[in-house]
Structure 1
Amino acid sequence: MSPAVVAALRDEMRRSEDVFVMGEDVGEFGGVFDTTEGLFEEFGSDRVMDTPISETGFIGAGVGAAMAGFRPVVELMYVDFAGVAMDQIYNEMAKVSYMSDGAFDVPLVLMTAVGMTPYQDPTHGQSLYGTFAHFPGLKVVVPSSPHDARGLMHSAVRDDDPVVFMAHKQLMLGMTDFADGLAEPAPDEAYEVPIGEAEIRREGEDVTIATLGLHAHRALEAADRLDEEGIDVEVLDLRSLVPLDTDRLFESVERTNRLLVVDEDYRSYGVSGELIARVAESRPGALDAAARLAVPDTPVPYSPALKEELDPGVEDIADEARAMVD
């Protein structure tokens, strides 16, 4: 997905000189996850700015620049380090517009990498979707394909509100097989994927799997396996957590009457429980069964074998969906 992100950033930077990128290793190095590959050569150090290892400093600077009328894209290399700058994120970035009664907008994109990869420790492998979705004032998007990565980045840069753009490392670097329908390169021209619209990746009648990011691919693979058993799975790719496309979620569950939520964040107080609660509150008559697959409430281990035990895999998803239908 990284070339799609780079293409969107390049287009937006050509479109407006108010758009610039800043963060650790985004310059000549091109970003640890190739998110800024080639941008330094075209735009130079004034608009592709390497920063010290000071998340508090450069995220705070990004908020100030956004208040001054720029449209910064600030890369937080790993989402795990958001805690270092949490005051800038949830007390400034998220609240400035509210506290100023709309006198100041904060058109800032906080671009960050999420998810587990082999041989990364507990402070480099979290997803934390629910953490950012919990803060009023932030929009949160999670692309699962090159097409959506480019379109959502265009939308995020052009949005007058702060947007957290959360991309899975394995998808950015091509470390995993992409599911059919999600692997195609992004179109060459600029386009927007609307923030707040989910996408049905596969239609079905027996159970809805609502998911996002890497797990959209795993859910589609699980659905293919279950199809051979006569179980018809619908896969709903959320794409956006804030705003959340509850209309499409409710419509899907009303068709299937079963909801399985899969994500790579921690199980408690997260996205999985929130989606089930939304459906239970608003469409209680449509819900015959609900379940969630997420990461147990324990730090992400360094060991790849232990990670496999924690991270919902294709077989885990298939087993849970099968049990719900049985």
Structure 2
Amino acid sequence: MTTRQIVLASRPVGLPTKENFRFENIDLSEIKDGEVLLKGLYYSVDPYMRGRMNDAKSYVPPFQLNEPLTGSVVAVVSESKSDSFTTGDYVLASLPWMEKCIVNEKEIHKIDTTIAPASSYLGVLGMTGLTAYLGLMQIGKPKSGETVVVSGAAGAVGIVVGQIAKIQGCRVIGIAGSDKKTNLLTEEFGFDVAVNYKTTDDLTKAIVDACPDGVDIYFDNVGGEISDVVISLMNFHSRIPLCGQIALYNNTGDVTGPRLQPMLLTRSILMQGFIVSDYKSLFPEATKQLSEWVKNGKLKSTETIINGFEQLPDALIGLFSGENEGKMIVQAADTE
């Protein structure tokens, strides 16, 4: 049995290009007891993958040259030699970028598609939702009436953060990069105000106007100049969950910016970086709450789905020009 895989052909300098990836056909071995054959249905592409393309020490090992990239995948069981899984089961796992693969039963878990569509387990009911919920609730600790600003607000995590903040009774301002996205935030997801950072003449004034009482929580997904502005407007005893720095991931030069420590000190601001796995013990509790909100309609999601396994490299590259609304997903096969 043969399948296609996508490997890291070379390490990018700056923004990745399609030349950094290579498609290969490989032979799969026979399935052994306790294993299943999976067919990939939905593949997640996420900004953190850019860091793994570098040969640098981080919280997760780098991708290896000439080996498949890996990420969260919703797959269907095509053949099983496991007592826990049967043909047709939908599962979620961290899998290589392969159209089909054989894995041990302990590496996958079933998902419940009666709660939400299978692709939701890469977004609002997956690591995306957990990141938003745990970062906001554990570090941001929102209180009713507070003002929350979310950068990268029309991205997968940002959309969920804003809605959870609204559920907690906060006033929510989103920052995004197009009028289409800002309209989506206010009209579909309940944000109170949304700012298009690409077209506003004065970003500081736009955020001041949107936050007359200052900023109590800043959920930082992007870093860079946007964060420089927002942090300058933080209130006393405000909190900053530091989730991502997508504005800097492809930077090849020295990065300079304001010295934040005086502001953090004099205003007693908490700024804490986090990785969602820091809160692994809370995953069951968080998943239960997210599922309840999805079922009762309090928490909605949107996805940018690109069809075709061969589109995975383009989809990943597209994250850095803001081509996605909500979760970026590649659908590699029909779910029938």
Identify whether the pair has TM-score above 0.5, normalized to the shorter chain.
no
Greater helix proportion: 1
Question: Which structure's relative contact order is higher, taking Cα pairs within 8 Å and 6+ residues apart?
Answer: 2
Give the greater-gyration-radius structure (CA): 2
Greater strand proportion: 2
TM normalised by structure 1 equals: 0.29
